[in-house]
Every structure is written in structure tokens, then in C-alpha cells.
Amino acid sequence: MNAETLRQYLEFYKDLGIDTVYRRRGRGPGAKGQGTDPEPVSALASSPSENQSPSDAQRSAPGPRPPAPGSSSESLLQILSDIGDCKRCRLHEGRNKLVFGVGDEHAPLVFVGEGPGADEDEQGVPFVGRAGQLLTQMIENTAQREGMPLKRGDVYICNVVKCRPPENRTPEPDEMEICGQFLERQLAAIHPKAICVLGGTAARALTGHREGVTKMRGKWFQWRDIPVMVTYHPSYLLRPYNQNAKREAWEDLKKVLHFVFD
């Protein structure tokens, strides 16, 4: 297997929630047997509850919602100024721009990805590269097909970590924990009607569940009092070998859009 094929396999496994792969003993030079399984830490999860349908009360609530236990009176600007020129973890060392989030401060729907990539690091805006363009298309096209006049600017988009991990590696547990406090504050400030998490890393961070994304997708979880829908990360959908996942992601998105906007 050449290096490029191996890289694609590893990315594929990563998307399925498998962060560690083992070489079989005796297979290849220097094989050492098993390593240790790093515990993914969920800094953000609050009493996870899996696959409950969001309640009718949450579903129908017309007009302004009363302040809920998970909401705050902080503004996003306050949170941004608190982050400042953040050097709280090692990720600041390689960053060009901190990527805080983009969209409507009062959005009823928030999308949460893993962490900025190269394009996002350059522009300081989340999901503007190839994966971001796919996400924008998915949001706007699905909404249009379902008869909802929704644009990317009507939702809020952010990531678990605000600085690009080197070589786009998965953020480390301590990085997610340190940066996660700001994601929590963003979510509490916006207090959307639903959150849609993109990919296994963000899903595990926000829900506290440890399964791979293929097991979690399409199901409702909960962050504080807010329903959370899990779906695939758009960069996973860009890869050629998983066409089925695209259809599933569209199904997941339809579910969350109808819950929020019907």
C-alpha cells in the first residue's frame, strides 16, 4: 500500500471515530504490538441522553423563548474579546488567524465542526474551504428543496477549537478542553433551538458519547437543554469512496431543518 492510499485509509478510519490503529504483531519491520488507547476527553458534554426525540415543547415553542438554564446574557463580542490574542494552548503557535465563528448571533441553528483548516486559518472564518463550500451548499440547497428560505448567514457556524491544528490533525483532549469553554459560552450566548455537529470529534466532544460518527449520525442527543443532531463532517463527504454518506447527511440535515424551522 502506498503512502497516499494509507493516508486515505487513516482519514477514513478517523471519520468513523477510530483514532488509533494497531499494527499486527510480526507484520512488517519494527512491529511492536499494541499501543495504548488514548481516552478521548469530552470537556463539553453535559449529561448525555441519546436519541431522544426533541420534546414537543421544544419543537413548537413560538415567539421568544424564555431564558433557559443553559443560556447566558453574554454577547459573542464579549466572548471574543475575552479570547483576545489567545495563547492558552499550543495551537496558537502555528496559527495565522484565530477562527471564532460566523453568522447570526441569534441563529436558531448552530453548526459545530472540529477545527479550522488552512483556508479558515488564512481568512479567520470557519468553513470557507472546499468542505465549507459543500456545507454551504448542503444548508442552502436542502433548505430550498424543503421550501425554507434559509441562507448560510441565517445560521451560526463555529468549531470546537479556534486555531488550526498542525497538519489538520485531530485536536488533542487538552486543546479541546481549554478551547471548549469558549464554545460552551458561544452556545450558551446564542442558545439556539438546535445544534448540528459535524463529524465524530465534535460529536464526541459535545455529547460525551464515544461511538464513531456512523453510529451516532441521524440521532438526537442533548447539550444542556439543547437538542443536538450528529452528522458526517463535510470533508468526509468530499471523499470519493463514501457516496452513501452524502445521502445520509442530507437526511440528517433535513431532520434538523424541519425540527428548527417547521
Q: Binding ligand URA by CB under 6 A: which of 54, 103, 108, 115? A: 115
Q: How far apart are CA 214 and CA 75, in angstroms?
A: 35
Q: Counting contacts by CB under 6 A, is residue 117 touching ligand URA? A: yes
Closest-CB residue for ligand URA? 113
Q: Which one, 54 or 229, has the nearer CB to ligand URA? A: 229
Cα(251)–Cα(230) distance, rounded to whole angstroms? 11
185 with 71: CB under 8 angstroms?
Answer: no
Q: Does 132 bind ligand URA (CB under 6 A)?
A: yes
Please say whether the beta carbons of 39 and 173 come within 8 A. yes
Which residues in the 180-199 window bind ligand URA by CB under 6 A? none
* CB atoms inside a 10 Å sphere around CB 88: 14
Least distance (Å) between residue 126 CB and ligand URA? 4
If one asks whether residue 126 binds ligand URA (CB under 6 A), the answer comes out as: yes
103, β-bridge pairs: 156
Distance of CA 47 to the CA centre of its chain: 18
103 binds ligand URA (CB under 6 A): no
CB of 145 to ligand URA, least distance (A): 24
Closest CB to ligand URA among residues 134, 260: 134
Nearest to 252 by CA among 157, 155, 139: 139
CB of 17 to ligand URA, least distance (A): 15
